[in-house]
Structures are given as structure tokens and as C-alpha cells.
Amino acid sequence: NAGVTQTPKFQVLKTGQSMTLQCAQDMNHNSMYWYRQDPGMGLRLIYYSASEGTTDKGEVPNGYNVSRLNKREFSLRLESAAPSQTSVYFCATQGTGGLPGEQFFGPGTRLTVL
Amino acid sequence: AQSVTQLDSHVSVSEGTPVLLRCNYSSSYSPSLFWYVQHPNKGLQLLLKYTSAATLVKGINGFEAEFKKSETSFHLTKPSAHMSDAAEYFCVVSDDRSSNTGKLIFGQGTTLQVKP
């Protein structure tokens, strides 16, 4: 039972390159989230998916796209990376059986854009 | 709109002494409040949660938090710090207490340093 997994763990990109961050969960949760974490700013929501087939923007969606491929997988894509997107990215899930707001986090992807 | 403010960006204590991490919230209704902990280079883990069932909430590893509506506070405490408590702590409010798709709003984080 792996919980929430993210790949890759680390990535270095050059400005303008594209990449996709992968997130998968085996918790059978409906809701999935992508956050970015920057020093002194806590976590900020990029996009979320309340259920398979739906996605919505969060607080900082610009420069990102997402795909909810199925119930298990939620990917985050950077089409043209910029240095401002250097951050640590976390995927999280939330189930219907638990308390609203109780989320489970993956280990994070550390992205550097040069 | 809901928001949280963590009053200290950095707290340093000696091992064996009490811990106090302060959090104030703003909400238009009785909120769901959480404390999450993040150890170095790790993901976040739920420490405890307030749901209105009791104002004093007990969490993992000996941490507690007290919901005080009159002060709009949800401070995190522990009677005796351990070296393993060194981490970053986030006070969090859910923007929708009735929905399992509610979004979390994070405070800026407090780094807890524990000195031997």
C-alpha cells in the first residue's frame, strides 16, 4: 500500500523546456490536488480534481496544465518552464470517508528551472 | 474568505522544554482547522484536526491544540520538546467544512528548532 507516489523526485530543466510531473494514489480517493511550496509562503494550490474527469484551477494555475487520467492518476504539465516555477511540488489526495480537509501528501518533486 | 496567520516564522526551544506555535485564523463560519508537520525533505503529515467536537484536540506525538473562538486562535503546544520534533509546522484551514472537495488554505509555516 504505497499511498501517494510522485515521479520524478528531482528534476532540472532549462527555461522553455516542458515536462510532466506524475502522481498516483492507491487510496481510492476521489479528490486530488497539486500544490507548490516556496519558502515563507506555505503551500499554494495550483489545480485540483474533485473527481475523475473534472479539474479546476486553484490559486496559482498560470503556466500549468493538468490531466486526471483516471481515478488513480493526476498529472501536472509545464509546457514552457520558467525560473519562477522553481519550487517543490506536492500531490495530495482526499477521500470521502474521512474528515473534509484531511489530505494525504506525496513525498514531493523538487524542480529547478535554470 | 478563510485565512490563517502563523505568528512566528521560526521558534527555537531546548529539548525537554515546552513548545508553543501560534496560529490565528479568519473565517466567516466555524472552521475546520488542522496542523500539518513536514520533516526535512519529506511530504506533509496530518498532526491533528479540529472539527468542533471538542475545543482541545490531541494529536500524534504528544501535540495538542486548543480552539479559542473568542481569540480566533488555534495554537499548537507540546509539554516537552524532543529532538525529533524539529520540523516545519503548518496551520491550515479548510475552505468548506461540509465538502470532501474543499480546498486547504495554508499558513506560511513555522520552523521549529530543538536544541540539545
Using CA coordinates, name the residue in chain A closest to B50: A99
In chain A, at which residue ranges do the beta strands (DSSP E only) sit? 4-7, 10-13, 19-25, 31-37, 43-49, 56-57, 64-68, 74-78, 87-94, 104-105, 109-113
- Give residues 52 to 81 of A whose Cβ lies within 8 Å of B: 58
Q: Is A30 on the interface with B (CB under 8 A)?
A: yes
CA–CA gap between residue A34 and residue B93 (Å, rounded): 17
Nearest residue of B to residue A42, measured between CA atoms: B108
Q: Do B43 and A108 touch (CB under 8 A)?
A: yes
The per-residue pLDDT for A32 is: 93
B43-88 per-position pLDDT tens digit: 899 999 987 778 899 999 999 999 998 999 999 999 999 999 999 9
Would you say A101 and B94 are in contact if contact means Cβ atoms under 8 Å apart?
A: yes
Lowest mean pLDDT among A44-48, B24-28, B93-97: B93-97
Q: Does B108 touch chain A (CB under 8 A)?
A: yes
Contact call for B106 and A44, based on CB within 8 A: yes
- Residues in B closer than 8 angstroms to A31, CB to CB, are 100-101
pLDDT at A86: 97
Q: Residue written as cell 490531466?
A: A67
Residue A25 near residue A32, CB atoms below 8 Å: yes
pLDDT of the residue at A95: 81
- Who contacts B19 (Cβ-Cβ below 8 Å, separation ≥6)? B11, B13, B63, B76, B77, B78, B81, B85, B112
Give A73's DSSP letter.
B
Pick from B29, B42, B47: which is nearest to B92 by CA? Answer: B47
Note whether A75 and A23 are within 8 A (CB). yes
What is the average pLDDT value for chain B, to the nearest integer?
90
Q: For chain A, which residues score pLDDT lower than 70?
A: 1, 97-100
The closest alpha carbon to A94, from A48, A55, A59, A58, belongs to A48
Q: Does B14 touch chain A (CB under 8 A)?
A: no
Q: Name the minimum distance, in Å, from the CA of A19 to any CA of chain B.
A: 21
Model confidence at B89, pLDDT cuts 50, 70, 90, reads very high
The predicted-structure confidence for B29-40, as pLDDT tens digits, reads as follows 778 899 999 998
Mean pLDDT score, B104-116: 94
Q: What is the pLDDT of residue A113?
A: 96
**How many helices and strands (H and E) does chain B possess?**
0, 12
